[in-house]
Amino acid sequence: MTQSESLPVDGGGAADAPNPATAKGARSPSSVRQLAAASVGNAAEWYDWYAYSFLAIYFADQVFPKGSGNSLVPLLSSFAVFAVGFFMRPVGGLLMGAVADRRGRRAALTVTILLMGGGSLLVALTPTYASVGVLAPVVLVIARLVQGLSVGGEFAASTTFLIESAGPGRRGLFSSFQYVSTTIGQLLASGSAALLAHLLTDKQMGDWGWRVPFLLGALISLVGFWIRQGARETREAARQTGARPTLFEGVRRYPRQSLLICGITAGGTLAYYTWTTYLPTYAQVNANFGKGDALLAGTIPLAFFAVLQPLGGLLSDRVGRKPLLIGFALGFAALAVPLLHAIDGSFVSLLLVQCAGMVLLTGYTSVAAAVNAEVFPARVRAAGIGFPYSLTVALFGGTAPYVGTWFKQSGHPDAFPWYVAGLCLISACVYLVLPETAKRPLDR
């Protein structure tokens, strides 16, 4: 292993000459522009991705046929397609990560946002099952596969772009904007769904209202594309010389680091998608919440969550990544079951449960991008992160709504909270042995 490829987790990689974009610190104008380019485009990406989960309750009956007397079958089918999209994320993480490592971070970010916008437009134009039969779910699956490819590559490229643009001692702060922008996109998706749900009747939402946010998402993606055209390539990608990394070089040369990414991500992604995406639906199917009230109660805590992220990132730059990660994992292992059982059908109960979970979750989300980027050297950083991270998200995060709904359909709704707690406990064990990387120089 060459000096330029030595890993922070194995003893630290020496930093190169300062990046011109970050030499003046995190508050230099160039760094702010880099942060804005990554964040605005990322928000547009995740708006498109999350709109599906918030609106599934409305379009499920339009796209999927009902089972024999079981009203949960269309919803279960829509969440199965949600999970299918996640299983394209490892492919996107690998392919777009390779583009980012070989062609530059900005090139990959440009491709991902165009793919997401196209997928969102296709969802908006998906025909109903009544009009075209089985072609309707086929079109929806294709759209989600395109979006899954996009979002898998987005995390890999934007994570490396953000961390490599950060000034000294600011990687945690810049890392937090990965989930600030993700949450803003989710907030826009949840807010638009909640607004339409209160303005339109359930019939109008089912007939045509659910298509409006997806059309809007396609337009937002074009705005994000335009903003990213003005981004400056990070020095780490632009200065690479010699042979370009191969597609599977990150996994092949760094298997320990790849497994470490999986362990870091497993509990975090399940808790994240449970609390930020599935909880409104969980409240509807387990506590008889109204659709509009559940969406509203799910939207308000997202704003609170976005505000928490920079605070967590700044704290990690001071005290390290491990204390936050361990606090998150042990907190969820102990509290996931009582928190989910505390949802009693009242608006306040769901609001408080979500906010409590958001506080704990910040210990993971605010530092995830920094921790992942600090594991791999610059040469294979994007693809090295993208594949194992996206694979783990697909296995545990993408299946969360499906697993939760399946437990309910099978007559075991109480099993899902224990599933969340158990996986977070496993990740806690990984965090306990994880080397601290906050104060180590980033490999260039």
Q: Is residue 241 part of a domain?
A: no
Q: Is residue 17 part of a domain?
A: no
306: domain CATH number is 1.20.1250.20
Q: Is residue 245 part of a domain?
A: no
Q: Is residue 9 part of a domain?
A: no
Write out pLDDT tens, residues 28-58.
446 777 787 788 778 887 888 778 877 887 8
Tokens 């600090």 found at? 374
What is the value of pTM for the model shown?
A: 0.78
Q: Is residue 378 part of a domain?
A: yes
Tokens of 145: 């596969």
Per-residue pLDDT of the chain (444 residues; tens, 9 = 90+): 333 334 444 433 333 334 444 444 434 446 777 787 788 778 887 888 778 877 887 888 888 776 545 555 676 677 677 667 777 888 888 888 888 888 888 888 889 989 989 999 999 999 988 888 888 888 888 888 898 888 888 888 888 888 888 877 889 999 999 999 988 988 888 788 888 888 988 888 888 999 999 999 899 888 888 888 777 777 544 445 456 777 778 788 888 989 999 999 999 999 998 998 788 778 877 777 776 777 677 778 888 999 999 999 999 999 999 999 999 999 999 999 999 888 887 888 888 999 999 999 999 999 999 999 888 888 888 888 888 998 898 889 878 878 888 888 888 878 899 999 999 999 999 999 998 988 887 766
Exposed/middle/buried for residue 267 (C-beta within 10 Å: 0-12, 13-18, 19+): buried
Instruction: Say which amino acid occupies 42.
Output: N
| Total domains in the fold of the chain | 1
Range of the domain at 168: 25-231+250-433
Q: Is residue 5 part of a domain?
A: no
Q: Is residue 352 part of a domain?
A: yes
Write out pLDDT tens, residues 353-383.
999 999 999 999 999 999 998 888 888 888 8
Q: Pseudo-torsion of CA 85, 90, 92, 93, nearest 10°?
A: 140
Q: Is residue 244 part of a domain?
A: no
> Three-state SS across the chain?
CCHHHCCHHHCCCCCCCCCCCCCCCCCCHHHHHHHHHHHHHHHHHHHHHHHHHHHHHHHHHHHCCCCCCCCCHHHHHHHHHHHHHHCCHHHHHHHHHHHHHHHCHHHHHHHHHHHHHHHHHHHHCCCCHHHHCCHHHHHHHHHHHHHHHHHHHHHHHHHHHHHHHCCCCCHHHHHHHHHHHHHHHHHHHHHHHHHHHHHCCHHHHHHHHCHHHHHHHHHHHHHHHHHHCCCCCCHHHHCCCCCCCCCCHHHHHCHHHHHHHHHHHHHHHHHHHHHHHHHHHHHHHHHCCCHHHHHHHHHHHHHHHHHHHHHHHHHHHHHCCHHHHHHHHHHHHHHHHHHHHCCCCCHHHHHHHHHHHHHHHHHHHCCHHHHHHCCCCHHHHHHHHHHHHHHHHHHHHCCHHHHHHHHHHCCCCCHHHHHHHHHHHHHHHHHHHCCCCCCCCCCC
